[in-house]
Amino acid sequence: MAEHVIEIKGLWTRFGRQVVHRDIDLSVRRGEIMSLVGGSGSGKTTLLRQMLGLERPARGEVLILGESLHGGDPGVMRRLRDRRGVLFQEGALFSALTVFDNVALPLRELRTLDEGLIHDLVMMKLSMVGIEPLHAYKLPADLSGGMVKRIALARALALEPELLFLDEPTAGLDPDRSEGFVTLIREMHRELNLTVVMVTHDLDTLVALSTRVAVLCEQRLLIVGTLDEVVANPDPFICNFFMGERGRRALDAVRNVEATT
Amino acid sequence: MPAPATPTIPAPDVRQVIAADGTRRFELSGAWTLRALRFRLTELTPRLAEYAAAPAAQWDLCGVQAIDHAGAMLLWRAWGRRRAANLVLNPEHESFFGNLELPAERPREHARRDPLRLLVFLGRKLLSVLDHFTTMVAMLGQVVLDAGFLVRQPARIPWREISSNIYRTGTQALGITALVGFLIGVVLSFLSSQQLKLFGADAFIINILGISVIRELGPVLAAILVAGRSGSAITAQLGVMRVTQELDAMAVMGIPHTLRLILPKLLALAVSMPLIVLWTDAIALLGGMMAAHAELGIGYRYFLSSLPDAVPIANLWLGLGKGVVFGLLIALVACHFGLRIEPNTESLGIGTTNSVVTSITVVIIVDAVFAVMFKDVGII
């Protein structure tokens, strides 16, 4: 049995009187790429924020790497900081710091690394995500959205985490860049033995990366399974989501690639 | 089954083995990951450096249970940024040593120290002040043009924005201006009474309070409070609208910023400031009157009936006029700095600070100008 990196048990979320999640159970296995999908307002991002410990569910428990996030232990966030990395939707780079300082920040926070090692580690991470050294001392405001995302990924990977959270990794990138970013994530996943949890709207990204897919719909977790299992489900929401024009195109594309290789 | 809370990580270590034929071998063991290494770096780094200096040694990484890029980089640096000549390692760890070669960096140029840097600094500051001044005048000009346009097309006057701005900058400021005005009135009156009592000139408390509050303190106090309260709010609001691209959206819809955002704020402050000045004057005089009653025994009725004789009415008009001018200036400065904010967090903070500091400074400078210009008005 594969080890579970994330376990969500009996999770409920309420905003006022509105129930967003009703009794959700979800486990993420080590080494897989789990995609969370669902319509707008289905609470994908809320669920992700709960997995990060930024929001507290009304009921239920979230275990990350065996630690309960909402158990009231103040040390959890500190212990988890070098075991998980997060890529926020807009990158969330600190606008007052240069690219180099952004990536160096988590390393400096450890307080035990010397500046020379930090410099080399930062430069290596930047070159891994395809950022040239000449951009290292620029401010995030001077860079394009695609580069900001790459740098944010480098920052998320700075502490060599085993768990990576991605919130809409390809939103706001043009098709060429998002293709490149998907390839980058796939490489990082393979190279660093990452477990990835991803929220996405983008079918191409979903099809290209997911090991398993979890579909959130009408407050519940509709289905968790491989892409083929999910697509085979007759639920009308899934039909709309995957079997619409765009969905079929994305699925066909991936099938063609599989057929030719 | 949940994993144990903190799985024990085998500590990284390096061991020197000298074979019978004298060749040296360094055996690494444990986890060479950032998480395991960070507490042992101070100890391991010098040892690695020392071992790496040994010639023709073999490095045996087969005992390493886990490694990541940080661990690989640490070894790489110890080896002098190249792969050790005689290296044995697990094939699955090979990939971590693949991309350690960093792309060459051009050394950053350090700015030369310019002997005239002080002059250049002063010149830049002066030019920036001039730039602020000209853009502010240009904005005022645009607002005047817009006002002319609105006079011709009264249907397009943004009444709703004006009224909501009057409410926010005026009505909501009544509480704080009353509190501050009252306390200043009490303190001023109390201190002056102490001095006047020495000369037996008790009745002059009315002149002192009346002239200073109505002519000077009321308008300046109200302006400083409003600059801190509404000026910062206006700057921050415009700044956030820049960050969220709302300003761009308005421009694209063909709604000029000056017409819909700035003109209403200017008009609103020009209307609400004199009213706030009047309110502050009244409350400060009330406070002063109460303190005078307590300290000098001057009756309320006497105080109020002698106030018009002691203070010529011109002072009130002067104070209200100052209120209008201060209101316009505060709104102008706040809008000017708000529109200059760039879409990042730091700029927002700096812009808001500059806006408040500048508007308070401008208010005090203009107040001094008023004092000189109207030195013959309203003073007996």
pLDDT digits (tens, 9 = 90+) for A89-100: 888 888 888 899
CA angle B111, B115, B116 (to 5 degrees): 105
Mean pLDDT rounded to a whole number for chain B: 87
User: What angle in degrees, to the nearest 10, is found between the helix axes of B69-78 and A115-128?
Assistant: 120
Answer whether A4 sits within 8 Å of B2, measured CB to CB. Answer: yes
**Which among A120, A126, A132, A195 is the top mutation candidate for probing chain B, defined by the most B β-carbons within 10 Å of its own β-carbon?**
A120
Q: For A193-198, what is the mean pLDDT?
A: 88
Q: Where are the beta strands (DSSP E) in chain A?
A: 4-15, 18-29, 33-38, 59-64, 67-68, 84-87, 163-167, 195-199, 212-217, 220-225
Nearest CA in chain B to A62: B2
Mean pLDDT rounded to a whole number for chain A: 83
Q: For A114-140, what is the mean pLDDT?
A: 86
Cα separation, B67 vs B87, in Å, equals 15
Q: Where are the beta strands (DSSP E) in B87-223?
A: 87-88
Nearest CA in chain A to B243: A141
Residue type, B264: P
Q: For B90-96, what is the mean pLDDT?
A: 78
Of B70, B95, B344, which has the smallest distance from its Cβ to A95's Cβ? B344
Angular region, B18: left φ>0, alpha ψ -120 to 50, beta rest: beta
On chain B, the residues whose CB falls within 8 A of the CB of A79 are 6
Q: Count the neighbouring beta carbons within 10 Å of the beta carbon of residue A103.
A: 29
How close does chain A come to B227, measured CA to CA in Å? 27
User: So what's the pLDDT on residue B238?
Assistant: 93
DSSP states of B86-119 as a string? SEE--GGGGGGGTS--PPP-PPPPPPPPPTTHHH
Spell B296-309 as b/e; 16+ CB within 10 A means b.
bebeeeebeeebee
Nearest CA in chain B to A135: B105
Instruction: Please say whether the beta carbons of B17 and B57 come within 8 A.
Output: no
Of A121, A123, A137, which has the smallest distance from its Cβ to B70's Cβ? A121
Answer whether A127 sits within 8 Å of B344, measured CB to CB. Answer: no
On chain B, the residues whose CB falls within 8 A of the CB of A160 are 33-35, 68-70
Query: Which run of H or of E encompasses B67?
Result: strand B64-67
Cα separation, A41 vs B112, in Å, equals 56
Both tokens of B297, joined, read 């025994």
Nearest CA in chain B to A28: B2
Answer whether B73 sits within 8 Å of A117, measured CB to CB. Answer: yes
User: So what's the pLDDT on residue B380?
Assistant: 65
User: So what's the pLDDT on residue A254?
Assistant: 65
User: So what's the pLDDT on residue A2?
Assistant: 54
Strands A4-15 and A59-64: what pairing? antiparallel
Question: Phi and psi dihedrals of B298, rounded to 5?
Answer: -80, 125
Q: For B156-184, what is the mean pLDDT?
A: 93
Spell B7-18 as b/e; 16+ CB within 10 A means b.
eeeeebbbeeee
* β-bridge mates for residue B24, sequence order: B18
Cα separation, B331 vs B300, in Å, equals 38
pLDDT tens digit sequence for A15-49:
888 888 888 888 888 888 898 888 777 888 888 88
Whole-structure pTM value: 0.71
Highest mean pLDDT among A158-172, A190-204, B165-179: B165-179
CB within 8 Å of A235: residues ≥ 6 apart: A217, A222, A223
How close does chain A come to B3, measured CA to CA in Å? 5
CA distances to A77, B144, B258 from B138, in Å? 52, 10, 11
Cα separation, B160 vs B168, in Å, equals 12
Q: For A247-259, what is the mean pLDDT?
A: 68
Of B45, B73, B346, which has the smallest distance from its Cβ to A124's Cβ? B73
On chain A, the residues whose CB falls within 8 A of the CB of B5 are 66-67
pLDDT tens digit sequence for A45-93:
888 888 888 888 888 888 888 888 777 777 777 778 778 888 888 888 8
On chain B, the residues whose CB falls within 8 A of the CB of A71 are none
Cα separation, A42 vs A130, in Å, equals 34
User: So what's the pLDDT on residue B5?
Assistant: 41
Q: For B311-333, what is the mean pLDDT?
A: 94
User: So what's the pLDDT on residue B109?
Assistant: 66
Instruction: Please say whether the beta carbons of B258 and B139 come within 8 A.
Output: yes
How close does chain B come to A133, measured CA to CA in Å? 6
Answer whether A159 sits within 8 Å of B34, measured CB to CB. Answer: yes
**Which among A160, A184, A194 is the top mutation candidate for probing chain B, defined by the most B β-carbons within 10 Å of its own β-carbon?**
A160
Of A96, A137, A160, which has the smallest distance from its Cβ to B345's Cβ? A96
For residue B19, give the DSSP letter: -
Nearest CA in chain A to B32: A160
The count of residues in chain A is: 261
On chain B, the residues whose CB falls within 8 A of the CB of A65 are 3
Nearest CA in chain A to B72: A121
Cα separation, A18 vs A36, in Å, equals 21
pLDDT category of residue B331 using cuts at 50, 70 and 90: very high
